[in-house]
Structure 1
């Protein structure tokens, strides 16, 4: 998640600086930028450039600033509101699909504030269909139906999920079994359903959820054993609450194509691995990718795990887990 923090007062600016330092320690936060004052000029830019905006200011200023920019719960960024004293963190916009509710809880813990969440499913301890999709990295084909299904869930009605029996959906069962929020579902199987799809039905209403591609980029020291690479991958996925069964591909640079540990991990997970050509890595450019002068001096490229993950995930992919080191192994995760 790329976050912009904007403040208007001196006290708010100090809080913003402190919050930025804390967020940058989180591998799921890809980038954090600070902005101060000039609210009228900044907001139209921030609204389209960042996944989330944290506004440290009075709620009136925030609401008047974003009102002309709001378009859809599908495309609007997450917007949070924090008072100058850091007493309250308020999820203001895009609580579910945009991730504002989740980020509100994260930031409130970091600054010891009270989180304020108002979405109906959350306050009633129900699992909304949009949260279900967000947590499992699934796209929603008909977002207009979200309201109908969430209302049904609030009313305790049973939702049916239909999946293809030939596809591994262990992560779905694991998620439903471990989730503490309430949802009444029945799971059915049909070979007519496309693989990697989940059909959600109630009455004449239907939503099709499709798996977004999750790619784990891997860099490692020469001859690193599989168990160490696997441990690093597991730790990364735990931070994102992603099951190993949900991973679609592994990726690394072609200089690692004979790396036994990575090849063994691919077999262990039954997930294909893509070794990206050096020329593609040299040409790849992104402001979200970190640069290592050490890697550049050895291989002529600035990095392995982040660009490999993004290139393999495909056009319009983004990092959801930045380069993180684990005892000679680096992991980055991209989604498309």
Structure 2
């Protein structure tokens, strides 16, 4: 049986003809593993023995992002049924017949990416993609797919997704407002009616807002998708109290009108890696923190104003801005925010623009 380490894509087959197709697919996917029955595996290929298929397939389901099954749909359904949890955590599952006539998006079509993978694999093996989710069959954009493109989060995921996707599939109007910082990332808004200002919105029509900002009007049928694209750079004095760190962060977000959910990482200097207040803030936001050496921060320090005192103390004249830039790969879009004990700055990672 294969090892239990996580893999991006796993390809599993049952028959000799299926094994040949599995090799063809796996060979064109850079980050993937091939798993075959022992009697068809060659040259050290990962394999499973007699009566081990169920356990192997279920293990791949638990450890992979995508599972491509070359076999009958019924076999796959019966095998994974006991361990299916929720579309927010289950992997994408595809089923392909051994003659590569059809590629079926079986599970986690949007959130897990099965629909996109189905189209990709179908092109690879020249098969017909079989996708049954309503928004795809009606050729409209889906809220959960759209949110993924922005690395976005939104509340009441299941309810909101069902509400918006149901209206889109039925051809009912759904308005969308995209913050100017995020326009052009997604060009396919089929099914949505784009508005230029929230003030232009009709209150009788559901509204999707894509923004990392606060201050939008709250109402029953509006959903804000918050792109989780911001990095918080942090500098601080030694031994700063938790409440001082939290208060500084709240004031920083208020000053720049940023929602706390838009942050996906905290960055600081290695010298501060034992400051509990930094770890407390990252834990409170439920995001990771990464520390960089002064030498690394110095490589981008010329992009920002610097303090001679800070440079003498920690080895670089600006911690907040430089740490944020190194973490995201982009210069900060906020000025350096400072209290007596804390400095903060935010940068934003670049999202890939649709090339469709």
Query: Shorter-chain TM-score: which interval?
Result: 0.5 to 0.7
Aligned residue in 1 for 2:147? 133
Aligned residue in 2 for 1:35? 35
Structure 1 distance, partners of 2:299, 2:157, is 43
Provide the secondary structure at the position in 1 that maps to 2:122.
helix
Deviation at 1:213, TM superposition (A): 3.4
Q: How does 1:145-164 map to 2 (within 5 A)?
A: 145=159, 146-161=161-176
Preserved contact between residue 88 and residue 114 of structure 1 (Cα < 8 Å): yes
Aligned residue in 2 for 1:94? 108
The structure with the largest alpha-carbon Rg is: 2
Preserved contact between residue 152 and residue 228 of structure 2 (Cα < 8 Å): yes
Provide the secondary structure at the position in 2 that maps to 1:274.
helix
Moved more, 47-56 or 154-163: 154-163
Q: 1:164-214 CA distances to partner (integer Å, 9 max, x unpaired)?
A: xxxx6333x3145x2163322435448xx9961599999833433222237
Tell me if 1:17 matches 2:23. Answer: yes
- Compared with structure 1, are the counterparts of its residues 198 and 127 closer, same or farther at alpha carbon in structure 2 (3 Å cutoff)? farther
Tell me if 1:183 matches 2:197. Answer: no
Aligned residue in 1 for 2:316? none
Provide the secondary structure at the position in 2 that maps to 1:4.
strand
Preserved contact between residue 162 and residue 199 of structure 1 (Cα < 8 Å): no
Deviation at 1:109, TM superposition (A): 1.5
Preserved contact between residue 76 and residue 98 of structure 1 (Cα < 8 Å): yes
Q: How does 1:53-202 map to 2 (within 5 A)?
A: 53-145=67-159, 146-161=161-176, 169-171=180-182, 173-175=183-185, 178-179=187-188, 181-189=190-198, 196=212
Aligned residue in 2 for 1:208? 224
Q: How does 1:319-330 map to 2 (within 5 A)?
A: none
Deviation at 1:157, TM superposition (A): 2.9
Provide the secondary structure at the position in 1 that maps to 2:85.
coil
Runs of 5+ consecutive residues of structure 2 not aligned to the other structure: 1-6, 38-51, 200-208, 232-261, 268-289, 304-319, 329-350
Preserved contact between residue 121 and residue 127 of structure 1 (Cα < 8 Å): yes
- Compared with structure 1, are the counterparts of its residues 201 and 44 closer, same or farther at alpha carbon in structure 2 (3 Å cutoff)? farther
List 4+ stretches of structure 1 deviating above 6 A. Answer: 198-203, 246-253
Q: 1:250-284 CA distances to partner (integer Å, 9 max, x unpaired)?
A: 99975554547x977xxxxxx965389xxxxxxxx
Q: 1:283-313 CA distances to partner (integer Å, 9 max, x unpaired)?
A: xxxxxxxxxxxxxxxxxxxxxx9xx78xxxx
Preserved contact between residue 210 and residue 226 of structure 2 (Cα < 8 Å): no
Runs of 5+ consecutive residues of structure 1 not aligned to the other structure: 25-30, 216-245, 265-270, 277-304, 310-332
- Compared with structure 1, are the counterparts of its residues 150 and 143 closer, same or farther at alpha carbon in structure 2 (3 Å cutoff)? same
Structure 2 distance, partners of 1:128, 1:48, is 26
Structure 2 distance, partners of 1:273, 1:206, is 36
Please, what is the CA RMSD of the aligned residues?
4.1
Structure 2 distance, partners of 1:199, 1:155, is 31
Give the total of aligned pairs. Answer: 231
